Amino acid sequence: MKSSPVPSTPNNHRVWAEPWKVKVVEPIRMTTPAERTQALSNAGYNTFLLRSADVYIDLLTDSGTSAMSDWQWAGMMLGDEAYAGSRNFFHLQEAIRQYYGYQYIVPTHQGRGAEHILAKLLIRSGDTVPGNMYFTTTRLHQELAGASFADVIVRAAHDPDSELPFKGNVDLAALEALIARVGARHIPYISLAATVNMAGGQPVSMANARAVHELARQHGIRVMLDATRAVENAYFIQQREAGYENRSVAQILKEFCSYTDGCTMSGKKDALVNIGGWLALNDSELYDEASNLVVVYEGLHTYGGMSGRDMEAMARGIAESVQDEHIRARVGQVEYLGRKLLEAGVPLVRPIGGHAVYLDARAFYPHLDQEQFPAQALAAYLYEDSGVRAMERGIVSAGRDSRTHRNHHPSLELVRLTIPRRVYTQAHMDVTAESVVDVYGQRAAARGLRMVYEPRYLRFFQARFERL
Ligand code: F0G
């Protein structure tokens, strides 16, 4: 008998369902195969360059694509658009203090705005920033500020088939060896991400966060959290780590953040809004410097890059995001899609991640060399098949070494099916799974790509390709 993709109780009742109903709908359009072939060629085989009107089910990203609640939309009408001291800023600050536990908040237009400020604030030329796997914009801001990034994630994170429950963990021995080698003085902070996007949405355990904190404290090094999907991370701790099964996601989140000295945040993910982010700090002197820098690059320290209404929507989104039923349904939907694909024998990163299912493009196309961009090619075939838009997370995303200018060759060559929050139905997940299975069936005939245009920064966004 086949197991159901939805976990159920002993009475055969499903363990989660969405804790909301739909009030407004946005029509989407199915295109013809000929239209898609044309659109793909116009887009240079890069799903970032497709027009959204040509996309049927958009799984490019979970960033800024969430559906807001009626309570958030109501908050949008309460925007205080004063240049300085907007009341919505104080609501946002309150929400972050209450749920994340940090003292000082600098709003930014989105996550990379906060990364920019943090890197400028703390990094000196020649520094090394250790982290649990790179993220594209995070590493670039570290490099532009003069640092080099050192990956200290556990080895299992690079193996799509390893089933370890916390593949986002820091390898403490590797971190310790790095500190001994370069010296604590040259490590401005440890960049800890939870969950780890590029590893497949994999979580960090509470025990690991605590140990990183302890090691960093001994050496006088700060730990800065990338809190972009820390609520999803907290949910995995509740589900997988002994001692946390009876704690709420909100309690777990706050404990987790307590092991760090501040965070950068893309509010466009966990926090259920379409735009916004922040930098949070506990050190008041550092905050003074950050709030001074933000006026140069983003805006006054009480709005950063956001309008009052956006800050209100985010304050409310944060409160909604930590509700146990919300996060169970959110991660449950991702797991539903992943399990369906696993049942059909499709190779993907396990365990299934918090925000996305990551297809293993190397296993799809063992006949393609990594320099023929197998994941980029797979994302293109998937769009052609059904109008489902996914994102490459492999050699194109990894870019080039900042010193040697050679391509990085990440061991993970993935296509990310990213699920927006509160947007698509189970039927949409079924359509997606059917298309992935079809594309998998046609894998032997797949051809690779050649890059014909490569932009200087974050090339995956704008690179263009031709089919070989
Ligand atoms: N950190 C992580 C882990 C992210 O996933 C992102 C964005 C950022 C930082 C930067 O935040 O986009 O608000 O400037 N990730 C998006 C994605 C783009 O599709 O994964 P941002």
The CA–CA distances, whole Å, from 384 to 25, 89, 252, 437 equal: 25, 44, 42, 14
Ligand 1 within 6 A of CB of 135: yes
Determine contact, residues 166/204, Cβ cutoff 8 Å. Answer: yes
222 is catalytic: no
pLDDT band at 267 (very low <50, low <70, confident <90, very high): very high
pLDDT greater than 60 at residue 1: no
Chain-wide mean pLDDT for the chain?
A: 97
State how far the Cα of 195 lies from the Cα of 328, in Å rounded to an integer. 15
According to the model, what pLDDT value does residue 8 have? 87
State how far the Cα of 297 lies from the Cα of 108, in Å rounded to an integer. 9
Ligand 1 within 6 A of CB of 197: yes
Backbone angles phi, psi at 255, to 5 degrees: -65, -45
pLDDT greater than 60 at residue 2: no
pLDDT greater than 60 at residue 256: yes
Q: Whose CA is nearest to atom 5 of ligand 1?
A: 197
pLDDT digits (tens, 9 = 90+) for 78-109: 999 999 999 999 999 999 999 999 999 999 99
According to the model, what pLDDT value does residue 7 have? 86
pTM above 0.85, yes or no: yes
Token pair belonging to 378 = 């797979």
Determine contact, residues 50/31, Cβ cutoff 8 Å. Answer: no
State how far the Cα of 187 lies from the Cα of 237, in Å rounded to an integer. 28
pLDDT greater than 70 at residue 164: yes
**3-class DSSP assignment, residue 198:** coil
Q: Whose CA is nearest to atom 9 of ligand 1?
A: 111
Average pLDDT over residues 268-279: 98
Determine contact, residues 71/317, Cβ cutoff 8 Å. Answer: no
The residue type of 191 is S
Average pLDDT over residues 266-295: 98
Sequence-distant (6+) residues with CB within 8 A of 149 are 128, 129, 130, 131, 134, 139, 142, 143, 191
pLDDT band at 417 (very low <50, low <70, confident <90, very high): very high
pLDDT digits (tens, 9 = 90+) for 23-78: 999 999 999 999 999 999 999 999 999 999 999 999 999 999 999 999 999 999 99
**In terms of Cα–Cα distance, which of 212, 241, 425 is closest to 336?**
425
Ligand 1 within 6 A of CB of 136: no
* CA of 266, closest atom in ligand 1: 13
Residue range 70-321, CATH number: 3.40.640.10
pLDDT band at 11 (very low <50, low <70, confident <90, very high): confident
pLDDT greater than 90 at residue 179: yes
Percent helix, strand and coil across the chain, each to the nearest 5: 45, 15, 40
How far is ligand 1, taken at its centre, from the CA of residue 61, in Å? 9
Average pLDDT over residues 118-145: 97
Which residue did the predictor score with more confidence, 10 or 418? 418
83 is catalytic: yes
Given 127, 226, 310, 360, the catalytic residue = 226
Q: Whose CA is nearest to atom 15 of ligand 1?
A: 63
Average pLDDT over residues 149-160: 98
Determine contact, residues 26/338, Cβ cutoff 8 Å. Answer: no
pLDDT greater than 70 at residue 3: no
State how far the Cα of 318 lies from the Cα of 160, in Å rounded to an integer. 31
61 is catalytic: no
Q: Whose CA is nearest to atom 21 of ligand 1?
A: 111
Location of each CATH 3.40.640.10 domain in the chain: 70-321
* CA of 267, closest atom in ligand 1: 13
Residue range 33-62+324-467, CATH number: 3.90.1150.10
According to the model, what pLDDT value does residue 365 have? 98
**3-class DSSP assignment, residue 263:** strand
Location of each CATH 3.90.1150.10 domain in the chain: 33-62+324-467
pLDDT digits (tens, 9 = 90+) for 183-221: 999 999 999 999 999 999 999 999 999 999 999 999 999
Backbone angles phi, psi at 463, to 5 degrees: -65, 155
Determine contact, residues 120/290, Cβ cutoff 8 Å. Answer: no
Determine contact, residues 162/102, Cβ cutoff 8 Å. Answer: no
Average pLDDT over residues 416-429: 98
Ligand 1 within 6 A of CB of 193: yes
State how far the Cα of 453 lies from the Cα of 324, in Å rounded to an integer. 45
The residue type of 115 is E
Beta bridge partners of 464: 453
